[in-house]
């Protein structure tokens, strides 16, 4: 049969086999039912009021706000710290390298779909010349030298879709590595902001403790003067001294907590602990932005950890197809051509040309269920990922709802605590005047001192918790990274809603340090 006829028949055979390919044409991400909105999200107002007088409002699309949400706090120092962390954080750098590794693996998998061509050049000496074990005459074994150069091409025809499935799996794994890198960035940004808030809060509380120490120390000096005049008792003197040193005992603890927060922040930004210097002016220097009402729950689908599982799910689908194709016989093609001769001077003569073509089809008859169980294993892996995917999404919904609840209740607690601190401060001022006038005893004075210090310290604790809830909200929504495009390939892909032209986020200018902070003007998201 002529060679051309055989090649045509082989092409027809390969085409018919390709029609039996077992690889599926698309992979779907499973649907997970979500509520239309978060239960504790603030209700949208009937109208959006203008910004307060003297405030500068800026409107942002939500998809523009989330990647750099920390800028809403209006702190240039925090902005520089986050920028430094995005540049120097070691965990983020390591995640970048893992992404590059996955990209290299995907490129390798893509190369496996193409023919592999190798060039060879060899010079060999063999003995005995002619047939091995033939008759040899004389006192020595005859030898001969052979030189050979050539090209060889090898290709496994992807008639079942195995190589394509392997490539798609590797490509999706590199997307997974990219999302893992984004997840590290999301976490790093949140940790930097949290560490900065901790530092400012502990610094606020330390400032309160120092101011209280100065006040009670002044009162101790006044009691000592009264003691010399006989207007105070020794009991009052020792009680006031105990109050002074009780306040002094809190100062080292707060200094330790502040320094630990600073060291943690240094670690997050890639600096040596102890080398970071801050000029923070307390939580009162920050702006607390308005929580957006009406946020759709599907917004959290932009979170990198959810995108990681999407990519892993689709890769698991491709792994199933890879395992299924390996149940079928592979078809390998090999072609080789070159020149070979015993004499180097005649190596490239037409008479020394050689070539060969080889087609190989191999079938495994018995493997004791090894490949069948690989399919079972791949399906079980995917089903596990389906359950993990749903749980991760519902955990994200819980995180957002908890953060919204923390902001809502924290704001109420803070407003009430500020009232308590203001009232206890007035009571302390009145008690000092009354004590100097002899209208009250020293025990009542001490009680008003402790109450004011405790209420003011608790105010800073509540304010810190409220800010941490705000950070948790933005982090839970996937803030800190830009939204990525849909994963490649055919099939269902969940997409997060993108904010439209009606999305408004107005942020008020921060109040002066030491003054009560006003909430920003209201924002509105139109679903």
SS3 state of residue 161: coil
pLDDT in tens, 34-59: 877 776 766 544 333 333 322 222 33
List the CATH number of the domain containing 81. Answer: 1.20.1600.10
What's residue 138's pLDDT? 56
What's residue 525's pLDDT? 26
What's residue 128's pLDDT? 59
Average pLDDT over residues 63-67: 79
**Rounded distance, CA 236 to CA 243, Å?**
11
Contact residues for 327 (Cβ-Cβ < 8 A; gap 6+): 371, 372, 375
Among the residue ranges 92-106, 143-157, 294-308, the one predicted with the least confidence is: 294-308
- How many independent structural domains does the chain possess? 1
What's residue 511's pLDDT? 34
Query: 128: cis peptide before it, omega within 30°?
Result: yes
What phi and psi, each to the nearest 5 degrees, are found at residue 125?
-115, 130
Average pLDDT over residues 101-109: 93
Residue 523 in any domain: the answer is: no
- Please give the helix or strand (H or E) that residue 341 lies within, else none: strand 331-341
**Rounded distance, CA 33 to CA 494, Å?**
11
Would you say residue 388 has pLDDT above 80? yes
Contact residues for 296 (Cβ-Cβ < 8 A; gap 6+): 36, 37, 497, 525, 527
**Considering all CA atoms of the chain, what is the largest pairwise distance in Å, rounded to the nearest integer?**
136
pLDDT in tens, 407-423: 999 999 999 999 999 99
What's residue 344's pLDDT? 78
User: Across all residues in the chain, what is the average pLDDT?
Assistant: 81
| 145 within 8 A of 342, measured Cβ to Cβ | yes
**Rounded distance, CA 131 to CA 136, Å?**
10
Residue 488 in any domain: the answer is: no
What's residue 336's pLDDT? 92
What's residue 289's pLDDT? 86
Would you say residue 127 has pLDDT above 90? no
pLDDT in tens, 290-333: 766 566 777 788 899 999 999 999 999 999 999 999 889 999 89
- Count Cβ atoms within 10 A of the Cβ of residue 336 and give its class: 0-12 exposed, 13-18 middle, 19 or more buried: middle
Domain span holding position 385: 21-124+144-476
For 27-136, where are the E strands, in sequence order? 116-127
Would you say residue 14 has pLDDT above 60? no
What's residue 442's pLDDT? 80
**Rounded distance, CA 11 to CA 265, Å?**
65
Query: In percent, how much of the chain has pLDDT > 90?
Result: 40
Residue 133 in any domain: the answer is: no
Would you say residue 392 has pLDDT above 70? yes
pLDDT in tens, 199-245: 999 999 999 899 888 888 888 888 888 888 877 788 888 888 888 89
Would you say residue 76 has pLDDT above 80? yes
pLDDT in tens, 358-379: 998 888 888 888 889 989 999 9
What's residue 255's pLDDT? 92
What's residue 177's pLDDT? 95
Confidence of residue 523 (pLDDT cuts 50, 70, 90): very low
* Whole-model pTM over 0.95: no
Q: Are strands 353-361 and 116-127 parallel, antiparallel or unpaired?
A: unpaired
What's residue 504's pLDDT? 30
**Rounded distance, CA 52 to CA 326, Å?**
68
Average pLDDT over residues 265-270: 92
């Amino acid at each position: 049969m002529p060679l051309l006829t055989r090649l045509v028949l082989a092409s027809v055979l390969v085409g018919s086999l390709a029609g039996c390919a077992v690889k599926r044409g698309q992979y779907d991400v499973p649907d997970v039912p979500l509520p239309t909105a978060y239960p504790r999200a603030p209700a949208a107002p009937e109208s959006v009021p203008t910004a307060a007088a003297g405030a500068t409002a800026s409107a942002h699309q939500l998809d523009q706000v989330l990647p750099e949400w920390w800028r809403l706090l209006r702190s240039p120092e925090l902005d520089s710290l986050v920028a430094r962390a995005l540049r120097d954080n070691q965990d983020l750098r390591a995640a970048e390298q893992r992404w590059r590794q996955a990209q290299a693996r995907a490129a390798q998998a893509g190369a496996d779909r193409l023919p592999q061509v190798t060039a060879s050049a060899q010079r060999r000496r063999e003995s005995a010349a002619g047939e091995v074990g033939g008759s040899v005459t004389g006192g020595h074994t005859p030898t001969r030298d052979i030189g050979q150069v050539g090209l060889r091409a090898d290709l496994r025809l992807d008639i079942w879709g195995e190589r394509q499935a392997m490539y798609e799996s590797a490509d999706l794994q590199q997307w997974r590595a990219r999302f893992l890198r984004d997840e590290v960035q999301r976490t790093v940004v949140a940790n930097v902001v949290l560490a900065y808030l901790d530092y400012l809060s502990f610094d606020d509380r330390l400032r309160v403790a120092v101011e209280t120490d100065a006040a009670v120390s002044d009162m101790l000096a006044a009691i000592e003067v009264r003691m010399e005049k006989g207007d105070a008792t020794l009991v009052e003197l020792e009680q006031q001294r105990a109050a002074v040193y009780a306040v002094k005992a809190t100062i080292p603890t707060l200094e330790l907590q502040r320094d630990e927060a600073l060291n943690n922040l240094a670690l997050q930004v890639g600096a040596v602990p102890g080398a970071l210097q801050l000029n923070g002016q307390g939580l009162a220097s920050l702006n607390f932005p308005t929580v957006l009402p009406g946020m759709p729950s599907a917004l959290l689908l932009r979170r990198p950890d959810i995108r990681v599982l999407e990519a892993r799910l689709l890769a698991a689908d491709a792994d199933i197809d890879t395992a299924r194709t390996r149940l079928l016989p592979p078809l390998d093609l090999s072609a080789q051509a070159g020149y070979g001769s015993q004499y180097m001077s005649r190596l490239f003569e037409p008479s020394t040309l050689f070539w060969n073509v080889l087609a190989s089809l191999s079938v495994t008859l018995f493997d004791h269920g090894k490949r069948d169980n690989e399919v079972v294993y791949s399906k079980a892996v995917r089903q596990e990922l389906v359950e993990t995917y749903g749980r991760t999404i519902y955990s994200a919904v819980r995180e957002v709802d908890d953060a919204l609840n923390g902001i809502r209740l924290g704001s109420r607690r803070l407003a009430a605590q500020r009232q308590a601190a203001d009232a206890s401060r007035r009571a302390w001022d009145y008690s000092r005047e009354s004590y100097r006038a002899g209208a009250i005893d020293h025990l009542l004075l001490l009680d008003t001192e402790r109450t004011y210090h405790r209420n003011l310290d608790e105010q800073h604790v509540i304010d810190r918790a409220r800010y941490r809830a705000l950070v948790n909200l933005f982090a839970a929504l996937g803030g800190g990274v830009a939204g990525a495009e849909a994963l490649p390939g055919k099939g269902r892909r969940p997409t997060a809603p993108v904010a439209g032209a009606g999305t408004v986020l107005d942020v008020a200018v921060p109040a002066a340090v030491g003054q009560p902070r006003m909430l920003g003007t209201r924002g509105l998201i139109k679903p």
